[in-house]
Structure 1
Amino acid sequence: MDEANSLEQWLAGLQFADLNEAQATSRLVDAVTAWGESQGWRVYRRAPSVFPLPAPLKGHSVLDVACARPGEQPIAIEVDRLDRQRTVDKLLAEAAAGRLAIWVRWGSGPFRPPPLPVHLVTREASRTRGLWHTVTDRPAPQHSVTTAAAEISELPIGNVTEDNRNRPNTEQSPDD
């Protein structure tokens, strides 16, 4: 699907570091929102879903992001780190209602593909000391310039006896 590929490319440019899980999820939702807005679509956060809330709650669940596209099917997007069956069920219900369903999964993977027609978009991230940071295939930047090896030459020792005459003797001789 072109929209899922486009969103995955957009999220590949997203970088973050030292965020807790809620902050990282929020940053991804912000990026998904920016992607939809860059397409010229109306974008809604926490949009009503067709999927009902679990009992004993009443009403319907919400989507992380929904996009209204003139002349095209709406897009329903969920952003999750964990592999939750409830999210799959919600997106399947959205797809059955005529929406393009996209699941943005983030974290260290592996990312099990959802059943069709739900589309999977991933953004790899790692956790260090309890905080999350994005993972990139780009090499780390070079922080210092490598210099050529210095020319090695012998240093003059000079007169060792003269140089050491005024030094205190701190070594014990073997005869002591």
Structure 2
Amino acid sequence: MDGVADGERLAASLGRALARLTFVDLTTDAVTARIIESVVAWAGDQGWRVYRRAPSVLPLPPPLSRQQSVLDVACARPDGPPVVIEVDHTDRRRTWEKLAAEAAAGRVAIWVRWGPGRFGTAPAPIHQVTCEVSRRAGPAGAGRLHSRAPGGDLPPPAHSERGAGSTAVLLPLPSLDDETP
């Protein structure tokens, strides 16, 4: 299997795994951590060795250029090149640069982008997986809270028209105590 098809297959598989992810009212950092946990579980289910905060081939920008950048998740697999995964809630050019450098070094690069939607497209050869969440203002000083309930954010059903033969009921209904025998 060529590298592009392998990357597309892996991104689709990871996307299916993340589609099952649910949570309610998590902070931005907690959502990122939850998604990373799900990525680690997915990679473990593949039988791969999984490394968190693995060194990247890309050095940090000055003045830290003597240090290497890190990847959220790196996976060693016996049947193909390593897989590297970054998880972000914003479009960061640095993430693209890091993943492009990893892809140039022969790794399958996957970017998990999460947020309320309006996702940009990662440049090739980076494979992108999106994870849409809803967000709301949290309590004062807490920042935004994020939730994900696949299939739970559906619009309300349309109300039916009052059909022929239906009878309007006057409200309020009398209580059982009001009825006399």
- Partner of residue 44, structure 1: 51
Aligned length in residues: 146
Q: List gaps (5 residues or longer) in structure 2.
A: 1-7, 138-143, 155-165, 171-181
Q: What is the aligned counterpart of 1:7 among 1, 5, 14?
A: 14
Indicate the SS of the match to 2:18.
helix
How big is the shift at 1:150? 9.7
- Counterpart residue identity of residue 132, structure 1: H
Q: List gaps (5 residues or longer) in structure 1.
A: 141-148, 154-176
The normalised TM-score by structure 1 is 0.78
How big is the shift at 1:135? 4.6
- Partner of residue 94, structure 2: 86
- Counterpart residue identity of residue 59, structure 1: Q
Indicate the SS of the match to 1:17.
strand
- Partner of residue 166, structure 1: none
The normalised TM-score by structure 2 is 0.76
Are 1:67 and 2:75 an aligned pair? yes
Are 1:131 and 2:131 an aligned pair? no
- Partner of residue 38, structure 2: 31
- Counterpart residue identity of residue 54, structure 2: A
Q: Percent identity?
A: 53
Higher relative contact order (CA 8 A, sep 6+): 2
CA contact (8 A) 2:57 2:69 kept: yes
How big is the shift at 1:59? 1.2
4+ long deviations beyond 6 Å: 149-153
Are 1:121 and 2:129 an aligned pair? yes
CA contact (8 A) 1:124 1:135 kept: no
Offset from partner CA, 1:112-148 (integer Å, 9 cap, x none): 11111100000000111220001523577xxxxxxxx
- Counterpart residue identity of residue 111, structure 2: W
* CA radius of gyration, larger in: 1
